[in-house]
Amino acid sequence: MALQAQVLREDAQPAAAAEPKEAVRAAVARARAAMEAYENHDQARVDDAVRALAWSIYKPEHARMLAELAVADTGLGNVASKIIKNTRKTFGTLRDLLRAKTVGVISEEPERGIVKYGKPVGVVGAVCPSTNPAATPVNKAMMALKGGNAVIIAPSPAGAETTRKTVELMRAELKKCGHPEDLVQILPPPVSKQMTEEMIHQVDLAVVTGSQDNVRRAMQSGTVTIGVGAGNVPVVIDSTADLDDAAQKICASKIFDNATSCSSENAIVILDDVYEEAMAALQRAGGWRCTEEERDNVVNTLWIEGKLNRTIIAKDASVLAAAMNLRDDAKAAKFFMVEENAVGGKHSLADEKLSLVLTVYRARDFDDAKRIVAAILHVTGKGHSVGIHTKDMGRAHELAEATDVVRVLVNQAHTFGNGGGFNNALPFTLSMAGGTWAGNTMSDNLNYKNFINITHLVTTIPEDKPSEDELFGPYWERYGK
């Protein structure tokens, strides 16, 4: 997710230092006033506001317009995929949110003497990436308002115009149904490092999607912060997999929005005994198998002086093939496969690529595949996720037990399943944490639970106090008293 970072200005003049502070202070004051007017004690009214935000981007003409604007703004991805992202993610998130109680009494457990009340966390500051300048702001705003909060959005400079238009549409829908417009705001232009950092300092909760540098800065700010981890997904194809099904899912996932997603497959690890058959299946699905010479062209084009080449990331396959000087036939391919004998380090084919380049490793056996996966995640992506295509659920469990990641997807197109799916139980989101492995405070998909505080009303129940023998008996039997 390195290029999902905000490109923040470093050259602001000292004389302007007070301006961001005052601008943010005014936005936070408006947000607090909006929360006072928001009927956030009433679940029906809260859900009404959440529906309004969802409709602001789900409405077909808005979904397309924002997708087109995002591609024009950022030069990343493609319109068709962004339309799907704007609608599918929003629809799935709305489904999840409408099924949850978040304000007032959200849970009663008489047998335990516990009643839980959901309450707002306050003003949320949402830092959003250039790769999803429309979908992510709406996604975070829906979750924030579901908890009864207000949200201030810090856009990426590259996608600022798209995000500004997105916020304008959200505010218009809120106004239409009688909710305070200032429940959703955007930082005033121009986007700057100082303004974003000032917002993080003044809000009650910061939620940061973007580069790991942005996440670390926010977590060091003193403000309660939720950050997410870097993606760099490796996926195993084992000997029992349905190879054509696996290849089709990998292709669909890899090419979605030209591989801008942090959940896009970056490497495939294929077991030796099905290697050539799997490669053939991937070629049938649209993959181009690079020669050794082409491999060098790919590497030399992807990284320039130790950094991803911004002119080619998230570009269409034909553009990428020409830039990498691949054979003419490659221009008709959907993605490009580069075979590697060993896992390199940073700025190698083991790293996150944010492009239609897929690194392929050959594993001797399943133990070797697990070793390769771990080595890839050590370079980038530890904690985030892995996938496996298999008919042997024992191997899926083995991979999950052995690998330090939050998510292990089985027989799924990773991009479509990792952030929640209609055929899996993960919460819909555009922000996925990686646990302490990634330096994050949570090991889950960002969801509504991150945007509420809970008050516990506690009454007495019949005493639940076991005997000493029940608790210490097994220990005494083995080791004595």
Q: What is the mean pLDDT of each run of 10 residues along the chain (481 residues)?
A: 35 48 96 97 97 98 98 96 98 98 97 98 96 97 98 95 98 98 96 92 93 80 91 98 98 97 96 98 98 95 91 94 95 97 95 96 98 98 97 98 98 97 97 94 96 98 97 97 94
Could you give the dihedral angle defined by the CA atoms of residues 86, 358, 283 and 312, in that order, rounded to the nearest 10 degrees?
Answer: 70
Predicted TM-score (pTM) of this structure: 0.93
Q: How far apart, in whole angstroms, are the C-alpha atoms of residue 206 and residue 417?
A: 26
CATH numbers and ranges of domains, the chain: 2-9+20-228+446-456 (3.40.605.10), 233-416+432-438 (3.40.309.10)
Instruction: Record the tokens describing residue 317, joined without a space.
Output: 């396959």
Q: Please list the active-site residues.
A: 262
Letter for the amino acid at 162?
T
Chain position carrying tokens 């290849």: 247
Q: In the chain, how long is the greatest CA-to-CA distance?
A: 79
Q: How far apart, in whole angstroms, are the C-alpha atoms of residue 347 and residue 436?
A: 24
Could you give the dihedral angle defined by the CA atoms of residues 127, 229, 434 and 248, in that order, rounded to the nearest 10 degrees?
Answer: 110
Backbone angles phi, psi at 113, to 5 degrees: 70, 35
How confident is the model at residue 7, as a pLDDT? Answer: 30
Q: How far is C-alpha 106 from the geometric centre of its chain's CA atoms?
A: 27
- Within 8 A by CB and 6+ apart from 61, the residues are none
Q: How far apart, in whole angstroms, are the C-alpha atoms of residue 163 and residue 133?
A: 5
Partners of 288 in beta bridges: 336
Nearest to 64 by CA among 175, 177, 162, 170: 162
Q: How far apart, in whole angstroms, are the C-alpha atoms of residue 470 and residue 464?
A: 13
How confident is the model at residue 2, as a pLDDT? Answer: 37
Q: How far apart, in whole angstroms, are the C-alpha atoms of residue 296 and residue 291?
A: 9
Edge-to-edge strand list for the sheet holding 452-458? 104-109, 114-120, 452-458
> Three-state SS across 55-108?
HHHHCHHHHHHHHHHHHHHHCCCCHHHHHHHHHHHHHHHHHHHHCCCCCEEEEE
Instruction: Record the tokens describing residue 109, joined without a space.
Output: 């457990």
| CB contact at 8 A, 430 and 89 | yes
Residue 70: how many CA atoms within 13 Å on its side-chain side?
A: 33
> What angle (nearest 5°) sits at the alpha carbon of residue 480, between those of residues 479 and 481?
130
Nearest to 185 by CA among 147, 145, 220, 217: 145
Note the residue count of the chain: 481
